[in-house]
């Protein structure tokens, strides 16, 4: 993977870049929809492409448990398995293990956990996380880490970061694939000095990119943005920076201005299935009675398949009737909104850079 910066804002740290991966180029800043089990919920790969999605995220933990990484390897890798010829990023499984607090035990070597599917016992550590992700064949893979809860005691966070750095070093030593980029994940809770140490230790290991992890776990929005800004200060400008698990449009824009290049979140797809749709005028709750006979599209400014072909009245009917088509059409719209939103951010950065250059 190569990363090139094309345009830089003079008013903030925002920049437009391009990730060159084995499965194509991706212009940044970019939002990656979450395809937990090798599928972005309710849509197919054609829907994703038509919604201008360029890159997706898949989940190491879930694909390891079902159907199994070796099966996916034997069937040609994740791209072929899910019929997605474009770039894929896989997470390390650390966040999913974090979410299984009552079903796991952390050791120096890794994590022993019980499957949420059948209660079977498994072990996941740096070696296993690398082996699974290499078998899946993603373009970008993540070092194994521990995500801590919020709030967390300072002493525990400091020890956790030491463990995450140890695991990151092991992942760096194990990683051999020249075609897969490996990102390190900065942890440290809300503590500036611990975040600084985590970032500097990872930068010394010279990863292909760096992720800001351990956020969106309960902290308030001002605290989250403060952590993002000071963590970004400790990361190199010539490497891509990925903010994990944060996806509100207004927060994405703030993070872009802080120098973040990549984002993922379940928000657009989950909200679509719950009937909350993003529009140029703000969120729209499709179940509201006011839309029962509304012939307008969801968003007159949107050119997605849903807005070109269906009214708010019909979408409300589908949602209230619990028709499966509601989930597909709503998801197509929200994904298109996010793709266009990121495109607009890139266009603004380019225009600003070009105007200032004159």
Angle of helix 312-320 relative to helix 324-357, nearest 10 degrees? 130
Q: Which CATH class is domain 2-265?
A: alpha beta
Q: How many residues make up the chain in this entry?
A: 358
Report the phi/psi class of residue 268: left, alpha or beta, with left for phi > 0 and alpha for psi in -120 to 50: alpha
Q: What's the rounded Cα separation, in Å, for the pair 310 and 142?
A: 40
* CB-count burial class (<10 Å; 0-12, 13-18, 19+) for 107: exposed
Instruction: Write out the two tokens for 245.
Output: 């698990």
Is 193 part of the annotated catalytic residue set?
no
Instruction: Write out the two tokens for 205.
Output: 């290991």
Is 294 part of the annotated catalytic residue set?
no
Q: For position 22, what pLDDT does the model report?
A: 97
Q: For position 358, what pLDDT does the model report?
A: 61
Closest listed residue to residue 65, CA positions, set 37, 43, 90: 37
CB 311 within 8 A of CB 329: no
Q: For the chain, what are the domain ranges? A: 2-265, 266-358
Task: Show the low-confidence residues of the chain (pLDDT under 70).
Answer: 177, 357-358
Q: Other CB atoms closer than 10 Å to residue 127's CB: what's the count?
A: 17
The residue annotated as part of the active site, out of 47, 145, 201, 264, is 264
Closest listed residue to residue 302, CA positions, set 273, 324, 281: 281
The residue annotated as part of the active site, out of 91, 139, 201, 299, is 91
Q: Where are the beta strands (DSSP E) in 9-158?
A: 15-21, 24-28, 30-35, 56-58, 88-90, 104-106, 111-114, 121-124, 140-142
Instruction: Write out the two tokens for 107.
Output: 């050791």
Q: For position 42, what pLDDT does the model report?
A: 98
Q: What's the rounded Cα separation, in Å, for the pair 32 and 207?
A: 20
CB 312 within 8 A of CB 298: yes
Report how far apart, in Å, the C-alpha atoms of 101 and of each of 17, 115, 117, 310, 311 are.
37, 12, 15, 43, 44
Query: Tell me: the pLDDT tens digits for 74-100?
Result: 999 999 999 999 999 999 887 777 777
Query: Tell me: the pLDDT tens digits for 160-186?
Result: 999 999 999 999 999 976 799 999 999
């Amino acid at each position: 993977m190569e990363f090139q910066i094309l345009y830089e804002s003079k008013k903030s740290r925002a920049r437009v870049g391009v990730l060159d991966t084995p499965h194509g180029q991706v212009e940044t800043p970019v939002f990656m929809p979450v395809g937990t089990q090798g599928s972005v919920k309710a849509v197919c790969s054609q829907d994703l492409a038509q919604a201008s999605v360029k890159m997706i995220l898949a989940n190491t933990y879930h694909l390891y448990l079902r159907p199994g990484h070796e099966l996916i390897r034997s069937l040609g890798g994740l791209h072929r398995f899910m019929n997605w010829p474009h770039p894929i990023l896989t997470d390390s499984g650390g966040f999913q293990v974090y979410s299984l607090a009552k079903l796991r035990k952390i050791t120096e070597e890794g994590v022993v956990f019980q499957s949420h599917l059948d209660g079977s016992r498994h072990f996941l550590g740096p070696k296993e996380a690398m082996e699974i992700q290499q078998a899946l064949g993603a373009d970008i893979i993540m070092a194994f880490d521990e995500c801590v809860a919020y709030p967390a005691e300072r002493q525990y966070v400091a020890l956790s970061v030491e463990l995450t750095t140890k695991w990151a070093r092991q992942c760096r030593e194990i990683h051999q694939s020249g075609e897969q980029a490996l990102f390190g994940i900065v942890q440290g809770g809300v503590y500036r000095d611990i975040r600084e140490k985590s970032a500097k230790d990872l930068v010394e290991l010279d990863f292909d990119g760096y992720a800001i992890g351990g956020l969106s776990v309960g902290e308030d929005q001002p605290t989250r943005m403060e952590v993002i800004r000071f963590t970004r200060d400790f990361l190199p400008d010539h490497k891509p920076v990925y903010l994990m698990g944060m996806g509100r449009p207004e927060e994405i824009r703030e993070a872009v201005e802080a120098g973040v290049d990549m984002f993922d979140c379940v928000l657009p797809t989950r909200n679509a299935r719950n009937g909350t749709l993003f529009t140029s005028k703000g969120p729209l709750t499709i179940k509201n009675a006011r839309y029962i006979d509304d012939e307008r599209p969801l968003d007159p400014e949107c050119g997605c398949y849903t807005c070109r072909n269906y009214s708010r009245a019909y979408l409300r009917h589908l949602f209230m009737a619990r028709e499966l088509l509601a989930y597909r059409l709503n998801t197509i719209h929200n994904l298109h909104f996010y793709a266009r939103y990121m495109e607009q951010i890139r266009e603004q950065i380019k225009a600003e850079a070009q105007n200032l250059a004159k």
